[in-house]
Structure formats: C-alpha cells, structure tokens
Structure 1
Amino acid sequence: MITSAFFYGTGRRKTSVARVRLMAGEGEVVVNGRTLEDHFGNAVNLGEILMPFRVTGTEGRFNAMVKVEGGGYQGQAGAIRHGIARALLQSDPEAARVPLRQSGYLTRDPRMKERKKFGLKRARKAPQYTKR
C-alpha cells in the first residue's frame, strides 16, 4: 500500500464528471459539501455507489470528498462509483485491480444519449406516416 495522504480518481458516466479524493477515515462520503444521503435522497441506490469499497474490502477505511457536476442523479452516481474505483486502485494497485476489474467498476460505461437526426422528431421516432 502506498503511503500518501490523498488518492485521486476521476469518474465519468453519461455527461457527469466526478472528481474523487480519498483519505484515511471512517467511511464518510461527502458529495459537493453534502452527505451522500442529502445529495441523492431516494433517487439512486446508495449501496451501488459504495460497492467498490465492499468489493476491495476497504469499507470504513477511507473518507471520500467528491465534486460532481453535469448530468442527472443516475449519471452522477455512476461517475462517483467510477471515480472511487480509480482512486482505490491508486491506493493499493496490487490488491484492488483484480476485484475491481472483475466487477466492472474500472470500465467507463460508453453509453451516451443518441443524437437527434434531422427529419425525425427524436433520435429514432419518425413523424407519423400517412398513406393517403
């Protein structure tokens, strides 16, 4: 384990970007100056955000300070999870890489909103067709 005061990770999901800073602590997660529960409320499954800690067995060992911007609740939650996973990888590369990789938390989800095409109402919805 590298002995450093902070570990940094940047996570992205859809249009959200999360900058995560991990430090030794009791497992508190602060998002944009608010607790995880205050920031998200019931909009997302908070357990899913903290899964990288569970997978690597580091629950309660790190505090996380997160700055997240862009997107909605789901995108922000995914970006935070991605950032936490990258920061944990920085803290202990040998032990954390395999479980994080197997769980898929190090992979950036490439799915983005499909663009609207001209002549259509949305990305794929065409105007109603009239035969006569």
Structure 2
Amino acid sequence: MAEESRQYYEGIGRRKRASARVRVILDEEATGNFVVNGKDVKDFFPRFGDYLTLTGPLNDTDLMGKADVSVHINGGGITGQTGAVRLGLARALVKYDENLRGALRAGGHLTRDARIKERKKPGLKRARKAPTYTKR
C-alpha cells in the first residue's frame, strides 16, 4: 500500500472508442514497471509494434526504466487502446516536466488523432456503401 502515498502524474488519452487513464510515478523508488489493467504491458499488448508505440514517449524523453506506469483502459480495440495509452502517457509526462513538451511534440506523441467511425446515412447500407444499382 506504499504506492498510494507516492506522487504521481495523471494523463487522459483517447483514440477512436478507447479511453485510457495513465498514471506515471517518477521518483527514486521507480523500477520501470508498466502495468495495464493489472497485467504486465507485454501480456496485455503482445504485438511487438504496440510495445514500441506505447513506450515511444518514454524513449523520446530518456525516461525508459526510470518511471512506473499504471494504466486503466476501456473501450475500443487493440490499436485504439494503444494510441490512447500513448497520448495519456505523453500528457502525464508534460505535467511532470513542461520542458519535455518539445521532444514529445516532435515525436508526434501529443497530437490527438481525431479520426472516428463515420455515422451511417439514411438510404445507405453503411456510412458510404450504397445499395446495388439495378437498371431493370
């Protein structure tokens, strides 16, 4: 229960339908733990590319292995969740040290990806797919 008394920095990240609440602890006791919904990050996101995306903000700021990261995530799919965690982590690091903003901005970690699913239109089968045209 000692973790509750440690100072943390929180950031919220969203992408598509996924939302992530990221807490970063940067102190002398930090061991580099990265936990997502109670599981190790490599168990929750087994794809190799996802791990590189998630740790991008830490790599760009040279804080890899110096911070404990705890994430609570819900909604969306694997790629959306990965993007949400990345944005939340970058925002938390900026709260920790405003001087990191330039490195995170240059790496593209602070940009919110606003693309979401397009709504279905009346008279169409999906957002853009129209019924098959028949001449006769």
Query: Normalising by the residue count of structure 2, what TM-score does the alignment of the two structures yield?
Result: 0.89
- Contact 1:27–1:60 under 8 Å retained in 2: yes
1:10 alignment partner in structure 2: 12
Alignment RMSD (CA, Å):
1.4
The CA distance in 1 between the partners of 2:63 and 2:110, in whole Å, is 16
The CA distance in 2 between the partners of 1:43 and 1:56, in whole Å, is 20
1:122 alignment partner in structure 2: 126
Counterpart residue identity of residue 106, structure 2: Q
The CA distance in 2 between the partners of 1:99 and 1:65, in whole Å, is 22
- Contact 1:49–1:80 under 8 Å retained in 2: yes
Equivalenced residue count is 128
1:22 alignment partner in structure 2: 24
Structure 2 runs not aligned, ≥5 long: 1-5
Partner secondary structure for residue 30 of structure 1 = strand
Question: Aligned to 1:105, which of 105, 109, 112?
Answer: 109
Q: Percent identical across equivalent pairs? A: 48
Give the direction of change, closer, same or farther, for the CA distance of 1:72–1:59 in structure 2 (3 Å limit). same
Counterpart residue identity of residue 24, structure 2: L
Structure 1 runs not aligned, ≥5 long: none
The CA distance in 1 between the partners of 2:48 and 2:107, in whole Å, is 23
1:38 alignment partner in structure 2: 43
